[in-house]
Amino acid sequence: MAPAQDGSIVTQPAPIALHPLDPLTADEIARAARILHDHFGLGAALQVETIDLAEPDKATVRGHVAGAPVARAARFTVYRRGAAGVWAGWVDLDAGAVTVSKFLPDARPMFSPEEFMQIEAAAKADPRFQEAIRRRGIDRMDLVCVDPWTAGNFPGEGEAGRRVAYTFVWRRAFELDNYYAHPVEGLNVAVDVDTFAVIRVDDHAAASGSFVPVPMTPINYDADLLQGSRQPLKPLDVVQPDGPSFVVAGNRIVWDNWDLRVGFSGREGLILHQVGYTVGGERRPILYRASIAEMVVPYGTPEGVHYRKNVFDSGEYGFGKLAQSLKLGCDCLGHIHYLDVVLHDILGNPRVIPSAICIHEEDAGLAWKHFDFRTERTETRRMRRLVVSSITTVGNYEYCSYWYLYQDGTIEFEMKATGIINTAACIPGAPQEYGTEVAPGVIGHIHQHIFCARLDMEVDGPANTVVECDTVAPPMGPGNPMGNAFKVVERPLTTELAARRRVDFERMRYWKVVNRQRRNHVGGATGFKLETPSAVQPYLDPAGPSGRRAGFIYNHLWVTPYRADERYPAGEFMNHSTGADALPGWTARDRPVEDTDIVVWHSFGLHHLPRLEDHPVQPRVTCGFKLMPVGFFDGNPLIDLPRETNRSSKGNQSAGSCCV
């Protein structure tokens, strides 16, 4: 307690006891950075890619008692400015020492947000680039925009052994102008990101002197530049006069029958920990940890150097590092609880992203309904969902991540993709084989966004098995005399190679994660079904430079036995990676995955041939997946929802109660 200015006593809220899975605090990040600087002794030359929570082993987490002391450690990746390779290891924050440190000479750190503008500055300062800009009739360098792209693993003069950004160029007509409407085609710069030396300026049109014109039609989205807007609709408010039904204590959320912990990392962004559902007073675990562990965006054109557009937005940039602060009433609607995120800058200093995580409730429509035509009675129930979300901007594109928990036990992930499509210049009106001309002289190339969810399952405990379920129709004959029979055939996936699977529409294939040690009231194994509506067919050749690095995209399902060091489906260090340390290599060992602690990896995404409607800003499109209870409950888990009628709802005609 502390005295207020008027002499009264102000009661301070009790601090939330630390949990082993709580993200690092600002003080812990600062302490880890000091330990690292003292340990390596490189001064300002020490650059910090990652300081994240080193998650304790599962036994420690499961055995934790609220209020008990918590040992804290951090994972780190650091490197020396101007030199190749990284050090990776652990810091014991309690002992104040580096306990594990390994130098990896061939690994390359991801790009840091601070480096984006430094790469642009290096390119624009090069006389060769300045001359190439002048040749195109552009006389103001301050209006030129140079976007840094990771360089992949392509052959390029002077690039071997270096951490390289390969850049693409646009221009503005004025300060607030949408520069993606004005691509500067055929001009690229390769920059060494460790030294910011320009390796090459590739002016592909210089030899012939034939330039694709820079399209200059203004196509803007900033409200200050638009000429008027449509008449606004009448307000639609989400009103919760008694506040929300969830309770947030630190990073733990309790809502209806659900409880979980929210985490966040600079690489993955949002993380859900220890998701459980309470039934009849018994808390039943479902997920130990869930995240979107990687994503890749391959572009499908061989024209020019656009084949180099193949970026891993998580592993090469850091999905969480680029998260935004969210704005009440705009990004988030209703009664909102925000969580700040604490990350770090390139020197290891703590960096706070205020209101980076949004937690709220939404109406989810009808839960169930039935009208008995004999008694003429209707029973109707509505359902809600809890929403945990964050939004990341990677250059031109916004990725809006939403985790939904429904009252019926369903867990859903939805990615809402918006922002600005990546553009290139073309001859206006010319036929386009690998894209769409979205405005005169502006092309959006065909591409894909392929994500990989890492689902560390624990359905009623850690002993889980994945079962593949195919629907088959027996041939017409003695066993199927009318030709109407079809049934589901189940097959347990017992090893890693057997569990490399793809969707099959002809068999209406799905997978379920079951616990054969726990039985429902009709004797079946309890489980959750993985619904895969956004499975994507990849078109990268697996033998090509991009395909080799993105092996996870070639199956929609992978299953591995849990290992703490198998965290990212395309590998730990993605920048200039070869694809060797990734799901294809891990699963080639063909380890058993039956009745054990397993991780399910699901690849899904968006297949995107741009439309005219996607320019200048793309209306959001969605993809995702669901985990739906199947035999987990002994009946409809929503049968006990109370009768309720929303008294705030109004009609143009009188109406009776819908619930009786």
Of 22, 147, 313, 456, which one is the catalytic site residue?
Answer: 313
Residues linked to residue 398 through DSSP beta bridges, in sequence order: 393, 418
CA–CA dist 263, 270 (Å, integer):
6
Q: Which of 338, 397, 434, 554 is catalytic?
A: 397
- Nearest CA-CA partner of 351 in 361, 340, 359: 340
What lies within 8 Å, CB to CB, of 390 at 6+ separation is 264, 269, 270, 323, 324, 326, 341, 356, 357, 358, 400, 401
Residue whose C-alpha is closest to residue 296's, from 557, 541, 619, 546: 546
Is 242 catalytic? The answer is: no
Q: What is the CA radius of gyration of the chain?
A: 27
- DSSP for residue 167: E
3-state secondary structure of 43: helix
Angle in degrees, 0-180, between the axes of helices 127-135 and 113-125, rounded to the nearest 10 = 70
Contact 514, 491 (CB under 8 A): no
Task: Give the CA distances from residue 567 to residues 205, 294, 398, in Å, rounded to whole numbers and listed in that order.
Answer: 43, 10, 24
> Is 615 buried (19+), middle (13-18) or exposed (0-12) by CB count in 10 A?
buried
According to DSSP, residue 498 is labeled T
- The string of DSSP codes covering 18-42 is P-TTSPPPHHHHHHHHHHHHHHH--
Encode 98-128: b = buried (16+ Cβ within 10 Å), e = exposed. beeeeeeeebbbbbbeebbebbbebbbebee
φ, ψ dihedrals at 37, nearest 5°: -65, -40
| Cα→Cα distances 328→125, 222, 245, Å | 40, 20, 19
Is 313 an annotated catalytic residue? yes
Q: How far apart are CA 618 and CA 626, in angstroms?
A: 25
Q: How far apart are alpha carbons 402 and 150 in whole angstroms? A: 27
Tokens coding 63: 């055995």
* 554 vs 537: CA distance, rounded Å: 8
Question: Which letter, b or e, does each residue of 20-55 get, where b requires 16 or more Cβ atoms within 10 Å of its Cβ?
Answer: bbbbbeeebbbbbbebbbebbeeeeebbbbbbbbbb
Secondary structure (H, E, C), 465-477: EEEEEEEECCCCE
Which residues are bridge partners to 247 per DSSP?
254
Q: How far apart are CA 38 and CA 379, in angstroms?
A: 67
- Could you list the beta-strand ranges (E) of 349-500: 350-372, 377-394, 397-406, 411-419, 424-425, 435-439, 442-445, 447-457, 465-472, 487-493
Q: Report the 10 Å Cβ neighbour count for 575.
A: 23
584: how many CB neighbours lie within 10 A of its CB?
A: 19
Which residues belong to the active site? Answer: 313, 397
